[in-house]
Amino acid sequence: MDTCILKGRPPHPFETIAVLVATSASMEAVLAEAGCLASVFNARLLLIHMGKKTLKLAAHLDEIHVRSGGRLQNTTTVWLEDRHVDSLLHICKENAVDLLILETIRREGILRYFLGSLVRDVCRTAKCSLLLLTEPKVVGTAFNKIIIRGVVNPKTPLTLSTALYFAQQVGVGEITMVTELDQPGLSMATAFTGSAASTDILKKQITNGEVRKIQDMVRHCRSEEVKVIEEIISGRQGYAIRQLTKNQNADLLVINSPDSRYGFIDRIFTHDMEYILEDLPSNVLIVHSRIS
């Protein structure tokens, strides 16, 4: 296909869903999750296995298809012998994938290292949205508690509309949009303003301005089916929402895709995205708006 048609393509609806198939004890659960979501979103399902095709694995996939009760019958399987991220993303582009599902369970040894590195690389370079599953279930996950990270960014309205779409399709009537106010960042931004009184005034102006922008986004993305609750928290961006998501036992955290590619140096000097990726607080939906 002409991959140029992906540019500017809206992040939803999810018409084509792909799932990375890794040989593991939880493979059936991951495929079950993908099958459930494909059914919910009425999407085409693509199974991508990174590794050499073997008779044993093919037979195992056939067994899982039979046990799925029909959820995996209308699927296409792609056998990708190399393990390069570029090859995986090329398959996604060729098939106009809107959502790629990846398993992110903690593992030991080489497999854990490989999956962890692959997930990070895909997060930074994919041109489709990603669903990172931390605890896949054979019966499928009930995404009852959904949190969206609200930041002032051109991508955020599309991320919010995608979260509303996701919630509506899975039958959730309420989601929470959380804005983080980075107090250390505010202190640095107002460090040279003069008196303590003028500094406090400027902090309030910055804070109120950020909050108003987020509120405007919510107003423009209203949904009759799903209510958006707004919440403001203080703390370092990325870290604060990670902790809130954990503390509230949320089922899904929805965030923007990274603004640019980043590498090893970002692992040393942790920033907002890396706080979330280094210790996923729940299942995470990374929405690629395809505007950059």
pLDDT of the chain, 292 residues: tens digit per residue: 445 566 678 899 999 999 998 777 788 899 999 999 999 999 999 999 888 888 888 888 888 877 776 677 678 888 888 778 888 999 999 999 999 999 885 544 444 444 556 777 787 788 899 999 988 999 989 999 999 998 888 899 999 999 999 999 999 999 999 988 865 544 444 445 555 454 454 445 445 667 777 778 778 787 889 999 988 888 888 889 999 999 999 999 999 988 765 554 444 444 677 788 878 899 999 999 877 5
- Fold matches, 3-133 and 146-283: yes
Q: What is the pLDDT of residue 70?
A: 67
Write the DSSP symbol of residue 46.
Answer: E
Please list, in sequence order, all residues whose beta carbon lies within 8 angstroms of the beta carbon of residue 86, skipping any fewer than 6 positions away: none
Q: What is the pLDDT of residue 4?
A: 57
Tokens representing residue 182 in the block: 């980075």
Q: What is the pLDDT of residue 6?
A: 66
Q: Do residues 278 and 268 lie in contact, with contact meaning Cβ atoms separated by under 8 Å? A: no
Q: What is the pLDDT of residue 268?
A: 42
Q: Tell me the fold of 3-133.
A: Rossmann fold (3.40.50)
Which residue, among 280, 282, 285, 273, has the nearest Cα to 124 in the 3D structure?
273
Provide the greatest CA pair distance for the chain.
74
Determine how many CB atoms are found less than 10 A away from the CB of residue 209. 10
Determine how many CB atoms are found less than 10 A away from the CB of residue 196. 8
Q: Please report, in angstroms and rounded to a whole number, the separation of the first and last CA atoms in the chain.
A: 21
pTM of the full structure: 0.84
Please list, in sequence order, all residues whose beta carbon lies within 8 angstroms of the beta carbon of residue 16, skipping any fewer than 6 positions away: 43, 44, 45, 46, 95, 96, 97, 98, 99
Domain extents in the chain: 3-133, 146-283
Determine how many CB atoms are found less than 10 A away from the CB of residue 142. 11
What's the CATH code, domain 146-283? 3.40.50.620
Q: Can the peptide bond before residue 258 be classed as cis, meaning omega within 30 degrees of 0?
A: no
